Amino acid sequence: MDGRTRVLRADLGAGEVRFERVPDAWRRRYLGGKGLGARYLYEELPAGADPLGPENLLCFLLGPLSGALPGESRYAAVTKSPLTGAFLDSYSGGAFPDRLAGSLPACLGVVVEGEAAEPTALVVGDGEPRLEPAGDLAGADTVETDAAYPDAAVACVGPAGEAEVAYATIASDGGDHHAGRGGAGAVMGAKNLEAVVARGDAPEVPDALADLHERDGAAFVDDDVGRWQAAGETLESVDFAAEVGVLPARGWRETATDVDGIGIEAAADAAVGRENPDEAVPGGFRIETDEGETIPRGAAPMTLGAGLGLDDFDAVAALGETCDRLGVDVITAGNAVAWAVRAGEAGFEFGDGAAARELVGRIARREGDLADALADGVDEAAARYGGDDFVPTVKSMELPAYDPRGAPGMALAYATSDRGGCHRRARPIEDAVFREDDDADDDVRAVVEAQNARSVLWSLVVDDFAGETLWDDRGAEWLDALDVPHDDLDRVGERVWTLVRLFNVREGFDRSDDALPEWFGESLPEGDAPAAGRAVDPGAFDRLLDAYYAARGWTADGVPTPATCDRLDLSTDALPSGQDPTDERRTDDDPTDSVGSADSTTHD
């Protein structure tokens, strides 16, 4: 059974929706989610396309197993980032992915193109999919928009998305979940798409997967990772980062060691419940604020707490709730406020939660020159005001709260991340911070393997905690149980990562963008923590990057070679002009196997 063979195409400019078949080769080679989204973007976006222009695509993508997977269900938001100008894949969980899968049972998701003339909602799952007016939602926050559709699951923007803030999120479940980093919400806002509304019920687990679902669900609950998630979700990352000495504080000027007021115990004390109390893995803590309940993840106490000098969990939760309702990424928002304080432009000091909330509100609506600059990210604010050494970025994306000086592998993971400064592509710091001696081979191997593995998991759009824990075969057994055709999954992961690199190269990215700020050469404070006294050695990092490129089969400037593209069935016409012109162009019986082919999408 191979039921997900189509996508729903929504052309906002024309006011039309239609189903179209996904080429068989694309499904076999890219699966869904991140891989399929990368294939659509590479195929359809012209080089240099404006991320906030009508030519950009915004994809809400599922995988061939969506609705039946262990762990939390997720969808992938894939687009070109307005924050970085690079490829963007961002993920969100909760009820929306399952109900989108149930609303479009034969589909791998939705591809949105064009720009609506007026605020619009895409509604699926109660008959024929349709676009309908949504002018009454203009100006509403994410909780209010969700409440406008009480019988459905909603993915929507808040005021920040409407204002095209470069790190606006797409929110679902009343702001409990967000496709957060990189500004997918700004793309949605620029398209005048207020909401995607899924009215269908979550799908039933297919009979062919029932035994696997029961087996792997039970195994995850009993695994250390499952117990860790059940205990506190990612909030325990706060305590870990502080314990090993890699938790930046007060605008990256200090390293936090005492997180008693914002760590896992403080969250448990402040909690009024759990997200899914009846589930074996119940989800995050619910925290009551003046505006309503919120569910902070680990990034909130790291960047909004330690990063802004807030040592009270209630203050962190209140600031997080403000971000959630406005629809802004908490990591970039926290870094933006920290930059303003360090620059002396904020008008307040670290530790002032109320003032931070007020500034975030102005940023989300671009009220004033400072807020307008910060709405485009820290790099843009530094370009206007100075202070480019206050907050670290990679490819213009602000780093989260694992200081890369703690482990060379983490520095490499940040620098080579395909969407910018992201800790989700690879997390070698979890092990490498405890090593006394650097091992470049181990660092490169760990980063490459993690990037490839997560490219597969995010193409299946599986909860990566569950997928990494349970699937030594990357999910092949599940795909085979449904008779879903697929290539070797390790090869799929490498192919997806390489295709995204080709996209970024086409957008002008090269080795100079795979870099960290020079001030990471300054040592972390001395002390007893494993990371104490460490720094990023520039010469050693350059050699590490050389080794990474060699392992990937890329040139010294970070461009995938024709031989690598051929090995991965990526045609050499994906390469920039002038790359090895003597290499023969790949030919293939199936034109959809080649990146850049002209006629690769068929319509039902």
CATH value at residue 106: 3.60.9.10
Helix (H, G, I), strand (E, B) or coil at 79: strand
CATH value at residue 533: 1.10.599.10
Measured in degrees and rounded to the nearest 5, phi and psi for residue 456 equal -70, -50
**In this structure, are 27 and 115 located in the same domain?**
yes
- Output the pLDDT for position 587: 29
**In this structure, are 261 and 133 located in the same domain?**
no
**In this structure, are 469 and 385 located in the same domain?**
no
**In this structure, are 360 and 258 located in the same domain?**
yes
Written as six digits, the tokens of 516 are 């960290």
Distance of CA 518 to the CA centre of its chain: 26
Q: Which residues pair with 412 in a beta bridge?
A: none
**In this structure, are 535 and 446 located in the same domain?**
yes
Rounded to an integer, what distance in angstroms lies between the CA atom of residue 338 and that of residue 327? 19
Distance of CA 412 to the CA centre of its chain: 18
CATH value at residue 378: 1.10.569.10
Cα dihedral 52/53/54/56 (nearest 10): -70
**In this structure, are 412 and 361 located in the same domain?**
no
For residue 216, is it within any domain? no
For residue 215, is it within any domain? no
Domain count, the chain: 4
Rounded to an integer, what distance in angstroms lies between the CA atom of residue 203 and that of residue 185? 27
Nearest alpha carbon to residue 295 among 589, 26, 92: 92
State pLDDT tens for residues 34-45.
999 999 999 999
State pLDDT tens for residues 42-74.
999 999 999 999 999 999 999 999 988 887 899
Going from the C-alpha of 406 to that of each of 301, 333, 451, 581, the distances in angstroms are 20, 24, 20, 42
Q: Which residues pair with 248 in a beta bridge?
A: 255
Buried b (16+ CB within 10 A) or exposed e, 343-371: bebbeeebebbebbbebbbebbbbeeebb
**pLDDT averages per 10-residue partition of the chain, 604 residues:** 84 97 96 98 97 98 92 94 98 95 96 98 95 97 98 98 98 95 98 98 93 91 88 91 95 95 95 90 91 91 97 96 97 98 97 98 98 98 95 96 92 96 87 80 94 96 85 92 94 98 97 96 94 95 97 97 94 48 31 34 30
**In this structure, are 189 and 74 located in the same domain?**
yes
Radius of gyration of the chain (CA): 22
**In this structure, are 383 and 526 located in the same domain?**
no
For residue 220, is it within any domain? no
- Output the pLDDT for position 124: 98
Rounded to an integer, what distance in angstroms lies between the CA atom of residue 92 and that of residue 285? 17
Rounded to an integer, what distance in angstroms lies between the CA atom of residue 373 and that of residue 152? 36
Angle between helices 440-460 and 538-552 (to 10 degrees): 50
- Output the pLDDT for position 481: 95
Residues 6+ apart with CB under 8 A from 474: 453, 456, 457, 467, 489, 490, 492, 493
Range of the domain at 306: 231-393
**In this structure, are 30 and 154 located in the same domain?**
yes
Rounded to an integer, what distance in angstroms lies between the CA atom of residue 301 and that of residue 426? 21
β-pairing verdict for 107-113 and 58-61 = antiparallel
- Output the pLDDT for position 595: 43
Nearest alpha carbon to residue 333 among 180, 512, 451: 180
**In this structure, are 443 and 514 located in the same domain?**
yes
Burial of 102 (0-12, 13-18, 19+ CB in 10 A): buried
Domain boundary among 525, 541, 560: 560
Helix (H, G, I), strand (E, B) or coil at 226: helix
For residue 181, is it within any domain? yes
For residue 224, is it within any domain? no
- Output the pLDDT for position 437: 76
pTM score, whole prediction? 0.94
Helix (H, G, I), strand (E, B) or coil at 566: helix
Rounded to an integer, what distance in angstroms lies between the CA atom of residue 279 and that of residue 459? 25
Helix (H, G, I), strand (E, B) or coil at 248: strand
Measured in degrees and rounded to the nearest 5, phi and psi for residue 568 equal -95, 10
Helix (H, G, I), strand (E, B) or coil at 212: helix
Helix (H, G, I), strand (E, B) or coil at 593: helix
Going from the C-alpha of 359 to that of each of 365, 399, 460, the distances in angstroms are 10, 20, 38
Residues 6+ apart with CB under 8 A from 107: 4, 6, 7, 8, 19, 62
**In this structure, are 380 and 473 located in the same domain?**
no
Rounded to an integer, what distance in angstroms lies between the CA atom of residue 604 and that of residue 7? 10
Rounded to an integer, what distance in angstroms lies between the CA atom of residue 102 and that of residue 109? 11
Burial of 384 (0-12, 13-18, 19+ CB in 10 A): middle
**In this structure, are 36 and 157 located in the same domain?**
yes
For residue 214, is it within any domain? no
Q: Say if CB 345 and CB 386 are below 8 A apart.
A: no
Q: In what order do the strands lie in the sheet with 177-179?
A: 130-133, 120-124, 193-198, 153-156, 170-172, 177-179
Q: Say if CB 317 and CB 293 are below 8 A apart.
A: no
